[in-house]
Amino acid sequence: MKHTLASKRSPARTAALAAAVTLLAGLPVLATVRTAGPPSSVVEGDLQAPGVQRVRETRANFQPPAGSTCSDTPVLSEVPDPDRGQVQHTRRSRHAIAESEAAMVSEAVMPPSPPAPPAPVPRPAPAADAAYRTSAKAMAPAGRASEVAVRQQSQVPVTAGVVDDNADFGAFQQFLQRHGESAQLGRDIRVRQRLQVVDTRGRPVPDAEVSVVAGNGARMWARTDAGGQVWVHPNAFDDRDTPRYQVQVRRGGRSVEATLQRGQKNALQVVMPDAAPPARARLDLVFMVDATGSMGDEIDKLRGSLQGIVRDISRLPSNPDICLGLVTYRDRGDEYFVRGWDLTGNVGAFQQVLDGVQANGGGDYPEAMNEAFNHAVQSLSWRGPSTTRVLVSLADAPPHMDYAPPRYDQTALAALGKGIKVFSVAASGQDTTGEIVQRQIAQYTGGRFIFLTYKDAADPASGAGTQTTHDVSNYSVDTLDQLVVRLVREELARLPKG
């Protein structure tokens, strides 16, 4: 189905939603920062996005993915709440937690004395949108009574739309132009070039390491996707309009160099020597979920649908070797800040982890998305060569941009360098700032922007439908579960046959 709609996001929270299934080391060095001026090269699209600060990157801010296998046991790691004065990350096996720690987990799963659900929050006037969102998140029930109701509601079919901001890059630029606050968010992506890596037979070369270097020392890193492609955004890492870049592509111990001209209209094609494809596709699938109080319905749907989604993916023609990971986050002052369970091939054990996740906390509107995104990209054991890496991010609120770094734009650079493609899912209640952030992450990493749809766009309780209040057009709609499976299938279908 195709539909067109462009309006502002309603703050109403739904009671029956769903969730998505859900080369070098060092720190980034900022050699110089300046405000972007008009680019001197060819720019795609009729409109230019607002100018943002341009930062020169000279060192990779990530370690290349190097995992070989996934653990049989989900391993828990935590990012401490800065407000509690902790400085060390903790790592422990879910099945080897001491009794005192297990008690904490048990309390999170089944609160001993659940509070009574609050009185319904009245539908606000438009002027009270921000206050309503804050009170709705703060007052969202987390008790067992609400859990039973949500489990019943989660059986209702949930629909979602999807747009590809790389396929319609001009429309994405126009979206940024319409929302002036985007000038203070993300990186400058107004100039972009396509790089395609193929072998001598013309077949795409997936997961090849790519580095792009300017004469002034500015550098970017990426790994080709399953179709052997990378989108290069020179302004995102180079603060000067360098006319040409040296490109190095490495795979399987072999290296090829080429020159990329800024503004060239045709894709740069780099030919690598033939290499035997892996006998079986490998898929690392990680879900990053906002676990604050207003996300109870989404988390419940994720629990109920996970096994079916994994089953459908495992039955794809590529028969992928699947590893699953999970990152949940709340905010400062909550029971926890960010938690992550590392990649595991044990679906049953992963389901047990998901069953223990509860929605609670989150008194104000923004949440710790920046920190969770950084943890998901930087701290999980993503597998190395010949792996398709997908991160599904589910959120109904933007990140706290008033906290100290890391910031999502820096982490997006690392995700591209590690070959992690992000599918950003906007749950009901997501505002314009959150939509900008989610779409920027998906676009830069080569992913998609997904959003829940309803019969009545302004009323999430109206049930499944084709309407949305997000600023999108020409989108397709499907059930959320099938949409996620479809996107994964499309990624894997582009791999060479093993």
Q: Is the pTM of this model over 0.85?
A: no
pLDDT tens column, 6-53: 333 333 333 333 333 332 233 333 333 333 433 333 333 333 444 567
Please tell me the predicted confidence (pLDDT) of residue 65: 97
Domain assignment present for residue 418? The answer is yes
Higher model confidence: residue 68 or residue 440? 440
Higher model confidence: residue 315 or residue 307? 315
Domain assignment present for residue 225? The answer is no
Please tell me the predicted confidence (pLDDT) of residue 33: 39
Say how many domains are in the chain: 1
- Which of 278-282, 300-304, 367-371 is predicted least confidently? 300-304
Please tell me the predicted confidence (pLDDT) of residue 144: 36
Domain assignment present for residue 125? The answer is yes
- Beta-carbon contacts of 386 under 8 Å, excluding residues fewer than 6 positions away, are 206, 207, 277, 278, 282
Domain assignment present for residue 476? The answer is yes
Domain assignment present for residue 256? The answer is no
Please tell me the predicted confidence (pLDDT) of residue 112: 36
Please tell me the predicted confidence (pLDDT) of residue 383: 98
Please tell me the predicted confidence (pLDDT) of residue 38: 34
- Which of 12-21, 181-190, 371-380 is predicted least confidently? 12-21
Mean pLDDT of 106-116: 35
Domain assignment present for residue 43? The answer is no
Helices 144-153 & 296-314 angle (0-180, nearest 10): 50
Please tell me the predicted confidence (pLDDT) of residue 23: 29
Higher model confidence: residue 130 or residue 345? 345
Please tell me the predicted confidence (pLDDT) of residue 155: 60
Indicate the pLDDT class of residue 201, thresholds 50, 70 and 90: very high
Please tell me the predicted confidence (pLDDT) of residue 31: 35
**CATH number for the domain harbouring residue 480:** 3.40.50.410
207, pLDDT greater than 80: yes
pLDDT tens column, 243-265: 999 999 999 999 999 999 999 99
Domain assignment present for residue 285? The answer is yes
Indicate the pLDDT class of residue 308, thresholds 50, 70 and 90: confident
Domain assignment present for residue 30? The answer is no
Indicate the pLDDT class of residue 152, thresholds 50, 70 and 90: very low
Q: What is the mean pLDDT of the chain?
A: 79
Residue 98 burial by CB count (10 A; 0-12/13-18/19+): exposed, middle or buried? exposed
Task: State the SS3 of the chain.
Answer: CCEEECCCCCCCCCCCCCCCCCCCCCCCCEEEEEECCCCCCCCCCCCCCCCCEEEEECCCCCCCCCECCCECCCEEEEECCHHHCCCCCEEEEHHHCCHHHHHHHHHHHCCCCCCCCCCCCCCCCHHHHHHHHHHHHHHCCCCHHHHHHHHHHCCCCCEEEEECCCCCHHHHHHHHHHCHHHHHCCCCCCCCEEEEEEECCCCECCCCEEEEECCCCCEEEEECCCCCEEEECHHHCCCCCCCEEEEEEEECCEEEEEEEECCCCCCEEEEECCCCCCCCCEEEEEEEEECCHHHHHHHHHHHHHHHHHHHHHHCCCCCCEEEEEEEEECCCCCCCCEEEEEEECCHHHHHHHHHCCCCCCCCCCCECHHHHHHHHHHHCCCECCCCEEEEEEEECCCECCCCCCCCHHHHHHHHHHHCEEEEEEECCCCCHHHHHHHHHHHHHHCCCEEEEEECECCEHHHCCCCECCCCEEEEEEEEHHHHHHHHHHHHHHCCCCC
Indicate the pLDDT class of residue 275, thresholds 50, 70 and 90: confident
Q: For residue 441, what are the domain limits? A: 3-21+66-164+279-493
Residue 412's DSSP bridge partners are none
Higher model confidence: residue 306 or residue 475? 475
Residue 30's DSSP bridge partners are 57
Nearest to 313 by CA among 390, 226, 218: 390
154, pLDDT greater than 70: no
